[in-house]
Structure 1
Amino acid sequence: MEELMKDITKNKLSMFAAAKKYGVPRQTVRSKLTGRTAVDATIGRPRILSQVEEDSILYYMKYRAERGFPTSRKTVLTLALTVHLRYCAENGRAPKIDPQKGFARKWWMGFRKRHSTMIAQIDSLYKVSRKSADKMKHFTDMLTTTMAKEDLTGQPHRIYNADEVGFDLDSEMEPLTFAKMNVPGAVIRKGSHDHKLSCLECVAADGAAIPPLITFSKSFPPTDDSAEGPDNALYAATPSGFVEGDVFMRWLQERFLPFCSPVRPVLVLMDPGSTHVTPEAIDFASKNDIIFMGLSFRTSLIRHPLDLPFDRMKKKFDRLVEPDSVITKASFCKIYAKGRESVLSKAVIKKAFRKSGVYPASASNEVRRSDDLDEEEEARYQALLPEEREIIAHAKELEDEEFNCHKGLSHSATPEVFSWTNSDEEETTQPLQDDAEGPSWMPGFFTESNEDAYPTRTTRLGRVSGITVVFDGTTVEEYLGVPYAAPPTGPLRFKPPKAAQPWQGVRNVSTFGNSCMQTRTRYGPVSEDCLFLNIYVPVNGSDATQSRAVMVYIHGGRFNYDTALSFNGKWLATRGDVIVVTLNYRLIVFGFLSTGDRSSPGNYGLMDQRAAIVWVKDNIANFGGDPNRVTIFGESAGGMAVSMQLISPRTTGLFQRAICQSGVAMTPGAINYNPLAAARKLCEYLGCGTDDPAGMVSALMDMDADELTQAAAVFTGNFTRRVWLPVIDGDFLPEEPARYLESAPLDGRQLLIGCNNDEGGAQVGDGAPASHIVDRQSFEYYLNSSLFPTYPKNTQKIMEAAMYECGVWEETDPEVLRRAFAQMYGDFEYLANTVQKANLYSQRNHPTYMYLFTHRPSFSALPEYVEASHGQELYFLFPDLRGNDPDSLSVEEEALSRTMIKYWTNFAKTGNPMLPSSSDLPTDWPQYVPRFGQPTTKQYLTLKTNMTGDDISSNLRPKKIYFWTEVAPALESIPQSTCEPGISASPAVLPREAMWRVCAIVLALCFIK
């Protein structure tokens, strides 16, 4: 340990590198350096999964628990493996865990300790007394609450029960058994061993039946044979013969969704221990407005409506199957269809729902007599076949006690078991204990609910209930998935956002809402119904007795991808003592389709952002926020959006400050100046007419959202430009931003602005477009492609001038060319326009502060010559961004993170990054003020590790700024007839005429200091 500490303190080795070199856990090193134990310290193997994966596991755990599906350790281990494998597949990574072995107990213990508060809250969702009566009452309360909330009362066609039964044959060729019922003497031909069959049935409370799923082991009957089975049945084969997750998903997609009620949402009641409620099923259900709910734990024998028809089916099979008959797979389908047809009648199904107390909802499960039926049901009863009457009559004779303790139903009455899978030990099985405190080996999973764990706040639309977490010693209330506008679906597609509808009661906002439709799949479930925001409220900070400043974050992603859930606001909330709001807004074609006229003006994504800011202005006081101290901030496309909100006449009075990080409205590629062309290409691709803009929009309104997303992805643009972008619509953006900024109503707002010193570095990383630069020709190709969208007339001449100014006039070394491309791309795309924005804004006497972020993160995977690339400053404001391990920050980086958060939140509070407190800040940050001819003109702060008072500089890269803001536009304005034609096939030799022009430009640049 002494050698390790010496390497860090004297040799300046990072904490991450030192921990790796000496084989010591990073947390141990951090504790040694800081002299304290970090909050949420872990045990065992703490970081097998990324933060994104662990957050996903918690999301699915909470989903299951909220809907009555207890989450045992075995379930969590299965969830973890599923999430990890899916995450690796989506990101092209090799799994860290052997799928055959799964996760070990040590990981589980570390996971529980890292997320102890959240897991305790999840546990409390389904903690109920062990008494069956209490369990049934708990389930009934949950059911009635859900029915009232989702308007399911009096809607039996939207309430379903799904359950499965099994057939099996052991290796001794014993008789076939139907679940726990016997069919004497029946055998299966061909000598199958351990032959199993499963049937999944699903029925509605109005008596309707969904086509079943019949699963065979290894293979299933040919189509012509299975045609004699139940109508529209889905047949599948699995190694075990049981219904497995992928088969269940097929049934959901191909049978349940087409045959269930078109009115949404629909409720599906299932066994509480169901293994079918997988991440894939949860995502599918969320997307299609399907609500899964578990029946009361370990009383599902009593509450399953389908158990009554299954029991009646036993007698039907006794009559249909002769002793010693041979049952093939095909004949089984035929026999099952006959039994099912007579047993699953509407009358029996409705009786089963009534008897089980599911519909109408009741905590008891009385068997109702025929004289209790309403007139309609009585008429149906009289019309039944004799054998169906016999079944119902038999059901009437059953006493409750007999029904409750049936042993012949489709669910085992034995205690549920929890299996421990450990790579270091054999699997052991331990039954669930009956003590009220829960198993001793599972501490915290059956803890008492903390009444403060679900804080409630009031909005103008209704009350909301969130969750409480403790982070970095501060309690934070999180309200996730709060709707700020109506779902932009149906007739509201391609329309400005409308106000959300109010709700009755308390709305649960403890989980993230859907992400907006996009072409990338790693950002959670996506839907058109995505206009949600998330609020992070610190409740015991230094400002606890007064209103807090509010910071509203707008995510980037080129207006084409990303989501609010990527950005955890707890870091800024706790360390800066502010309220943080993150939001979703419509992306790609849904947010930025424009025909350039009234048919579709465009800018719907920007209008969504404005609607969210309006919601904050109207409601944040009820969360302890100050509506007169609202700061909007964003990075990349988020910074561009912030810049557009700043100058828009539609946002006057909505916020007081703005922070633009690596993106402004003048950034090349921030605005599409020819949106109609993109709309026509999209319609042409989809087979719509392209002559009439109104007709085009009408056709796109009727398109399926997924189909429209896939088509829009074809026309997203190249690596430097996108086509689904904001437009100059004459309303939200009245005219070109640089020109409009000269007279825009800025409303006295303060601005903090900046970028990174190597913004183009990401373009040369592994797999990035410019990483393919291998010679002079490919270098010029990529540079030309970058410049052409902005300078289409004289691209070649501007490219030649840029190469000369950058010092690569005749360079041929690929690495030097890649580095030069990264520098030119970053200067052209981000740096020059950031400085231009700061100049224009400060010249109007509005307080402006500028920064340059220069620190290369210790965990950066970009080439060594790349310093601070695009977006890398975000890891110091949101340290767990996109699964990053916060512990990967070195001690110096941790200090930089806290410094940046202090600057950012100070600015949000007062409009000055040095106030209200600067005692722990490394250096003063002066305003960015144009003082032409003076050494203190245009001062900016360099953000890096180990900051000192010498980190204030003036006049950032003046030659490069002048070239891209003055020279390049001047060259573009030269009539094309005086310029050489576009890029040549062999660009190694420059034309003489171009040489003279470049020399003239260089002479002009020489006079710039």
Structure 2
Amino acid sequence: MFVFIFAIFLLNDITVVSTSPSRNQFQRIFRSPDWTNIMKRDAYSRIQNQQSNDFSEEVLDQRIEAIKFVQIRTNSGRVRGHKTVLENQSIKPVVKFLGIPYAAPPVGKFRWKKTEKPKPWDGVRNASTFGPICPQARNGPLPAALLPVWYRANHSLVQRMRMDEDCLYLNIYVPAKLYASGKLDLILPSLCLTLICRNLCNPLPVMVHFHGYTYAEGSGNFYDGSVLASYGEVIVVTFNYRLGVLGFMSTMESNSPGNYGLWDQVAALKWVSENIDRFGGDPNSVTVFGSGAGASCIGLLMVSVQLDAYFQRAILQSGTALAPWSMVRNPRQQTLGLARAPSVNCYRESSREMVECLKGKSWRDLISVAISTEPYDLAFSPVVDGQDMFLVDNPFNLMEKGEFLNYPVMIGVSPGDGFGYLRDRILYPSGKSFGSDLFDVVVAKFTDSFYDDSEVPLEAIEKLVRFIYTDWADRENPMRLKSSLMELYTDRQFVEPAVRTALHNTNYKNNAFFYTFYHHPGKDPNRSWIESALGEQDPFVFGAPLMGNSAETLFPYNYTKDDIMISTAVMTYWTNFAKNGDPGKGKKQQTRFITEKANCFENVVWPQYEEAGRQHLKISTSPEVGSHYRAQKVELWRSFLPSLSGVSRSSIGDGVNPLKPPRAEPPTISPGTKNPNLATPKVSIFYSDTLTNHRSQPKPSTSETNGLSLQLNITLAVGFVLLFLNIIAFAVVSYHKEKDKYKIDVSTVKT
């Protein structure tokens, strides 16, 4: 009875599911003397019957068709979402709420500050159009290594999108079936509706998407969550967060500590937690998912001390917090390089004054500066910002100690995730084709970027890596060289960090599931050697193949029936995991309502990932459960090379990065100094490989080395001998394994 009395008391604070009655009709309803009795009787009957209120498909379709818009009251004000009918008639319509502000505009004095709450608004906000995307470079060089094929191919679409520094908006996709089934079709105050739904309505699980890929570009607007929401019966949320210089610039001082994009993500999750129940979602069943940098951000949130219980499950697609590219190496240098750019001219001796100058610059001027970086590094990325901030320590150390959220996780990689690093290196400026000599140089440069502070000679490590990744049976084949190099990039930058993350979760008794994605969309005879590249899971996760081919989309592939089958299988796995933490439990795999293509996933059992077997699901047209994915190459980077470079596993807990020589750890945030120690940044090209080995430069003279003591010389000599013996033993074992594997493959083909 209290619920109904409270409903009457708050008549002006209503949530409406509208079948387009006029304003006068609404006024007549509310002013009717019998309104109270009508509302009580109608609401009571609906609540009593809603659990068993199963409509026929025909009746449900009629109720969905009657919906024109849905009006919801959030903490900041009312929003009006609109129903959208999808092109594929097998997928029921959705209600879209677009361009909802989840935070105050990060402009003026709020630039490079923590995210603030959104300002309330009066009236009803028409949520029919997207908000602007966050500032990002539209012209000039792109950090191609971590950008998907589909993004680069359709960059013109991005150029046409509205862009502004006021960009912190989110989008919500709700199955229209939810509002038509009677579960939420109550004309009640929003608070009252929330109380009823929490007990009786069976709210839908929520999936919040984190876009990628390099912290410098992208938008939640790119991803239409309609098909995923309707097919999977979940609520999908996409959102923008600050990017590049505006989202991750850091002086490592209190005047600009960095990680603003991460603070935006926390604010978006908090908004969802506080408001999604008004839309029919369950705030206690929120799954976050993303690719590339989006997945890395999720991993960083899971080790942050600032994150409350805003989500309960996580899906990491080709990215983790342990990826070498997940954090910036030299934040001070990047900031100083920006300030010294002629178009900005903000270099000051005082870091505080420098930041104040940068705040006065237009965002267009800031994003137009091409910041030089070291090879395989990003210009602006998350940082360890110190105590009481976002990240108190390196993610490697935090995860090793178990200081991360123990939520169920689903982690996956694609065999071509490293293709972006190779894409622009197949032909070099000199015009010389990619051969074994250039292969050796690229491998050396790549290895040096991780072990330049190694206690053992870099030549030995480089020779070992080249030996492992060289196909000695076909060494001069350019196609095989490209494939080997792509495997090198993929293993080091994606597979090893993903396996390490999965093992950390299983070691601390978290439910973990691992997958490998072996299917690329459409038919492309020019890329037969690339089965799936970075970002090519996204079209399948969002159901793009079910919507056909369109030139006006970021996923412009010539989709096949196989693509449709894979997409429905992926959406089923993803939404099952969002509902119960297990991709194999819940909705059964089926696609025959869309295509006659047989579903090859119907009888597949996806096991949990464990230390012993390391089982994973291979997602392809011939799915299978495998074990120990690329185990030899993973252990090369995970344990063998760190042991050679002088980084022992016993020292991990003492703050040493086990994957490569320790970076200079950023200090705890302190007040801005008058004369900060900002070194001059190195000048290099985005993700370029200089075709000269740095050891070809003049070596120190003999007089510079005479200071070495005899004891040190003996130690180095003994160490090098032991290293050489280890390399020989490891190489022999590796050669025989690869040889046996090759024989098996050949015999299989002949059979």
- TM-score (normalised: structure 1): 0.51
Structure 1 residues 201-350: aligned runs within 5 Å = none
1: CA distance, partners of 2:437 / 2:137: 32
Q: Check if 1:639 corresponds to 2:295.
A: yes
- Match among 895, 914, 924 for residue 605 of structure 2: 924
Deviation at 1:997, TM superposition (A): 6.1
Q: Check if 1:723 corresponds to 2:379.
A: yes
Structure 1 residues 834-913: aligned runs within 5 Å = 834-860=498-524, 863-880=527-544, 883=553, 888-913=558-583
Q: Check if 1:615 corresponds to 2:249.
A: no
In structure 2, the partner of 1:537 is 174
Q: Percent identity between the aligned chains?
A: 31
2: CA distance, partners of 1:897 / 1:818: 29
SS of 2:94's partner is strand
Equivalent AA in structure 1 for residue 114 of structure 2: P
In structure 2, the partner of 1:756 is 414
Equivalent AA in structure 1 for residue 393 of structure 2: E
Deviation at 1:745, TM superposition (A): 4.6
In structure 2, the partner of 1:525 is 162
In structure 2, the partner of 1:775 is 435
2: CA distance, partners of 1:543 / 1:945: 39
2: CA distance, partners of 1:589 / 1:966: 35
Decide whether aligned partners of structure 1 residues 818 and 506 sit closer, same or farther in structure 2, where only a CA change above 3 A counts: same
2: CA distance, partners of 1:581 / 1:639: 15
The one-character-per-residue Cα deviations of 1:903-948 (angstroms, maximum 9, x if unpaired) are 00000011111222336452111111113xxxxx21111101143x
- Match among 130, 142, 167 for residue 512 of structure 1: 130
In structure 1, the partner of 2:470 is 807
Decide whether aligned partners of structure 1 residues 964 and 970 sit closer, same or farther in structure 2, where only a CA change above 3 A counts: same
Q: Check if 1:493 corresponds to 2:118.
A: no
2: CA distance, partners of 1:591 / 1:789: 25
Bigger relative contact order (CA 8 A; separation at least 6): 2
Q: Check if 1:706 corresponds to 2:364.
A: yes
Report the RMSD for the aligned CA atoms in angstroms: 3.0
- Match among 632, 640, 654 for residue 967 of structure 1: 640
- Match among 302, 325, 329 for residue 673 of structure 1: 329
SS of 2:450's partner is coil
In structure 2, the partner of 1:953 is 626
2: CA distance, partners of 1:514 / 1:797: 51
2: CA distance, partners of 1:748 / 1:714: 37
Deviation at 1:796, TM superposition (A): 4.5
Decide whether aligned partners of structure 1 residues 462 and 884 sit closer, same or farther in structure 2, where only a CA change above 3 A counts: closer
- TM-score (normalised: structure 2): 0.68
Decide whether aligned partners of structure 1 residues 588 and 996 sit closer, same or farther in structure 2, where only a CA change above 3 A counts: same
Decide whether aligned partners of structure 1 residues 771 and 733 sit closer, same or farther in structure 2, where only a CA change above 3 A counts: farther
Deviation at 1:451, TM superposition (A): 7.8
Decide whether aligned partners of structure 1 residues 1008 and 928 sit closer, same or farther in structure 2, where only a CA change above 3 A counts: farther
Q: Contact 1:854/1:942 (CA < 8 Å) preserved in 2?
A: yes
Q: Contact 1:649/1:744 (CA < 8 Å) preserved in 2?
A: no
Equivalent AA in structure 1 for residue 479 of structure 2: E
Q: Contact 2:174/2:235 (CA < 8 Å) preserved in 1?
A: yes
In structure 1, the partner of 2:484 is 820
Deviation at 1:884, TM superposition (A): 5.6
1: CA distance, partners of 2:162 / 2:589: 44
Q: Contact 1:601/1:729 (CA < 8 Å) preserved in 2?
A: yes
1: CA distance, partners of 2:298 / 2:311: 11
2: CA distance, partners of 1:678 / 1:502: 37
Q: Check if 1:942 corresponds to 2:618.
A: yes
SS of 1:455's partner is strand
Q: Contact 1:859/1:888 (CA < 8 Å) preserved in 2?
A: yes
In structure 2, the partner of 1:338 is none
Deviation at 1:566, TM superposition (A): 1.2
Deviation at 1:797, TM superposition (A): 3.8
2: CA distance, partners of 1:476 / 1:866: 35
Equivalent AA in structure 2 for residue 791 of structure 1: Y
Decide whether aligned partners of structure 1 residues 720 and 769 sit closer, same or farther in structure 2, where only a CA change above 3 A counts: farther
Deviation at 1:788, TM superposition (A): 3.7
Equivalent AA in structure 1 for residue 97 of structure 2: Y
2: CA distance, partners of 1:839 / 1:1005: 24
1: CA distance, partners of 2:737 / 2:322: 23
Bigger Rg, which one:
1
1: CA distance, partners of 2:542 / 2:375: 26
SS of 1:540's partner is helix
Structure 1 residues 572-591: aligned runs within 5 Å = 572-591=228-247
The one-character-per-residue Cα deviations of 1:570-601 (angstroms, maximum 9, x if unpaired) are 12101101000001010001000011121211
Q: Check if 1:648 corresponds to 2:332.
A: no
Decide whether aligned partners of structure 1 residues 787 and 682 sit closer, same or farther in structure 2, where only a CA change above 3 A counts: farther
Decide whether aligned partners of structure 1 residues 807 and 919 sit closer, same or farther in structure 2, where only a CA change above 3 A counts: closer
In structure 2, the partner of 1:13 is none
2: CA distance, partners of 1:692 / 1:777: 47
Decide whether aligned partners of structure 1 residues 940 and 503 sit closer, same or farther in structure 2, where only a CA change above 3 A counts: same
The one-character-per-residue Cα deviations of 1:869-894 (angstroms, maximum 9, x if unpaired) are 21111121124497266883221221
In structure 2, the partner of 1:105 is none
Decide whether aligned partners of structure 1 residues 671 and 479 sit closer, same or farther in structure 2, where only a CA change above 3 A counts: same
2: CA distance, partners of 1:974 / 1:536: 48
Deviation at 1:648, TM superposition (A): 1.4
The one-character-per-residue Cα deviations of 1:187-238 (angstroms, maximum 9, x if unpaired) are xxxxxxxxxxxxxxxxxxxxxxxxxxxxxxxxxxxxxxxxxxxxxxxxxxxx
1: CA distance, partners of 2:404 / 2:447: 31
Deviation at 1:647, TM superposition (A): 1.9
Decide whether aligned partners of structure 1 residues 719 and 872 sit closer, same or farther in structure 2, where only a CA change above 3 A counts: farther
2: CA distance, partners of 1:552 / 1:582: 6
Q: Check if 1:689 corresponds to 2:347.
A: yes
Decide whether aligned partners of structure 1 residues 495 and 884 sit closer, same or farther in structure 2, where only a CA change above 3 A counts: closer
The one-character-per-residue Cα deviations of 1:514-542 (angstroms, maximum 9, x if unpaired) are 11111136421211111011100002169
Q: Contact 1:796/1:983 (CA < 8 Å) preserved in 2?
A: no
Equivalent AA in structure 2 for residue 888 of structure 1: N
In structure 2, the partner of 1:410 is none
Q: Check if 1:457 corresponds to 2:120.
A: no
In structure 2, the partner of 1:402 is none
Deviation at 1:998, TM superposition (A): 3.4
Q: Contact 2:436/2:481 (CA < 8 Å) preserved in 1?
A: yes
SS of 1:904's partner is helix
Deviation at 1:832, TM superposition (A): 0.8
In structure 1, the partner of 2:745 is none
Structure 1 residues 77-96: aligned runs within 5 Å = none
Structure 1 residues 543-554: aligned runs within 5 Å = 545-554=201-210
Q: Contact 2:502/2:609 (CA < 8 Å) preserved in 1?
A: yes
Equivalent AA in structure 2 for residue 511 of structure 1: T
1: CA distance, partners of 2:444 / 2:323: 17
Equivalent AA in structure 2 for residue 738 of structure 1: F
Q: Contact 1:771/1:818 (CA < 8 Å) preserved in 2?
A: no
Structure 1 residues 94-109: aligned runs within 5 Å = none
- Match among 588, 598, 601 for residue 257 of structure 2: 601
Decide whether aligned partners of structure 1 residues 780 and 617 sit closer, same or farther in structure 2, where only a CA change above 3 A counts: same
Q: Contact 1:595/1:676 (CA < 8 Å) preserved in 2?
A: yes
2: CA distance, partners of 1:797 / 1:699: 48
Decide whether aligned partners of structure 1 residues 752 and 885 sit closer, same or farther in structure 2, where only a CA change above 3 A counts: closer
Deviation at 1:462, TM superposition (A): 0.1
